[in-house]
Amino acid sequence: MLIPELHEISNGNQRHIARAISWVENHVKGYWELLKSTSGRTPVIGITGPPGAGKSTLVNSLVQSLSNSEKKIAILAIDPSSTFNLGSLLGDRLRMQSLFMLPNVYIRSLSSRGSLGGLTTSIIEVVEILKQADFDYIIIETVGVGQSEIEIAGIADTTIVVSVPESGDDIQTLKSGIMEIADIFVVNKADREGASIFAAHLKKLSHERADSSWETPVVLTQAIHNIGIQELIQKIDSHFLITSQNLFKRSKLLTEKAFKIIQSQRMTKITHQKLEQDLEQSLNKTDFNLFSFVEKYFI
């Protein structure tokens, strides 16, 4: 029954939360009705950035601090897909061992399943299930595939871009790419040489991009030593408070989500295997044209 299941999710029953996530990931019969019954405004925090920036260490430190303040946190760790079965490689089991024993923390591995943006295709639905549960924060840690990872900005209320001082030599590349999505900049490993100079560059960039409601802050952290984490939490709370009252920002975010949901639903019955079979049959025709072939799938 869907209603009891929803009730158990709202009560924070982790077994029912896990089952519901599996339902929406695998499109089990009844998953859509379950999603239509969800509601919630839990802050969703996206943490992204290049490999080696210390995203996982930052997540560990951030969650430990929130947990110490008696907050309930859900973590979605997006892992690269296995080449053979598209399943998650379960990297979070290695990266987040210290968090698994915390009673107010829920961790779920999700496979990117080949998504170029670094996120699993069912991420919006999974987040909505978690919003129904009694969490204070939902944190999404992406796989760290660089500038193609900008789709996190269409999912999260607050997007944190993590970088390290060594990125300073590449500031122009960052400016034209992934840095454009940041609501908060984090310069991690700030004890390294060049951290203050790099932070100053980011602050200048942030000031140029600022609007009337928000100027992207730059937070220096040493996540491994829990330095700068409280300031980061304050910036996250401030940003969510401002954006939750900004109808234009909320409308843009929801438009992105609606577009992705519609896109996903229209592609439900189209698989690579079916396309390959149809193509093999069509290739026998002498007048084969790729654009004419794909046109029939537009409806």
The parent domain of residue 200 ranges over 40-266
Do 145 and 203 share a domain, yes or no? yes
- What is the total count of domains within the chain? 2
Do 290 and 211 share a domain, yes or no? no
Do 52 and 174 share a domain, yes or no? yes
3-state secondary structure 134-192: CCCEEEEECCCCHHHHHHHHHCCCEEEEEECHHHHHHHHHHHHCHHHHCCEEEECCCCC
Do 254 and 291 share a domain, yes or no? no
| pLDDT given at position 88 | 43
Do 59 and 75 share a domain, yes or no? yes
Do 259 and 293 share a domain, yes or no? no
| pLDDT given at position 94 | 58
* CATH number of the domain within which 109 lies: 3.40.50.300
| pLDDT given at position 133 | 92
73 in a structural domain: yes
- Range ranked top by mean pLDDT from 20-29, 128-137, 242-251: 128-137
- Write the pLDDT tens digit of every residue in 200-246: 988 988 888 888 889 999 999 999 999 999 999 999 999 999 988 88
31 in a structural domain: no
Do 261 and 280 share a domain, yes or no? no
Which one, of 252, 243, 235, lies nearest residue 47 by Cα?
Answer: 235
How much is the mean pLDDT over the chain? 83
Of the given ranges (25-39, 119-133, 146-160), which has the lowest mean pLDDT?
146-160
Do 108 and 222 share a domain, yes or no? yes
